[in-house]
Structure 1
Amino acid sequence: MSTSEPNAAHCATETSTRKSHHSQETKKDLLTRLNRIEGQVRGVKGLIEKDTYCDDVLNQLAAIQSALNSVGKLLLEHHMKSCVVERIQEGDSAVIDELLVTVRKLMR
């Protein structure tokens, strides 16, 4: 893949800079979700500063974890449908091992 190709920055191999190619809609959705999570984390910090009852803080942490898991699932889905498929089509089967390592990390 040369740098003059229109999709050269998308799912490039390890020999070049790897980048995603999310649609603007997907990127906006991910950023909105992450901004909301960031606000939730700041909220939990405030709860701790105010000595809020532990169970209430733990429930907020569970909500944050769930939101992070949702972002991870969305990213994983897009990654598999785009980057992974492209690399397999290019004959790069190493992407499967890379994906398995990532899935293991997500499942911890």
Structure 2
Amino acid sequence: MAGYGTARQDHLRRLRRIEGQTRGLQRMVDDDKYCIDILTQVSAVTSALQSFALSLLEEHLAHCVAEATRNGGPEAQEKIKEASDAIGRLVRS
């Protein structure tokens, strides 16, 4: 089972909220709103996505990586590399 299994509904709620914010951005552009107001909303959406990503990463480390390291072997190294790569992508974004 994926690490987010127990928090699945919370994650889906967060993603729906982010989706609503993104649709709001589309409406703002369509309604020709002030650029700075749109940029402020872009910042809010970006922050929400980053927060979601960090939450998901935390769960991945606590469940998938922790379990793999308890079991040891090549799977442990693979999970650690996956997590490290994911952290690198988040830092660069």
TM more than 0.5: yes
Partner of 1:56: 37
Match of 1:100 among 73, 84, 88: 84
Structure with more helix by fraction: 2
Q: Shift of the alpha carbon at 1:53?
A: 0.5
Q: CA RMSD in A?
A: 1.1
**1:82 paired to 2:63:** yes
Identity of aligned residues (%): 38
Q: Which 4+ residue blocks in structure 1 deviate beyond 6 angstroms? A: none
The one-letter amino acid of 1:45's match is: Q
The answer for unaligned runs of 5 or more in structure 1 is 1-9, 11-19
TM-score, normalised by the number of residues in structure 1: 0.77
Q: Shift of the alpha carbon at 1:23?
A: 4.0
Q: Which has the larger radius of gyration?
A: 1
The answer for unaligned runs of 5 or more in structure 2 is none
Name which structure has the greater RCO, CA cutoff 8 Å, separation 6+. Answer: 2
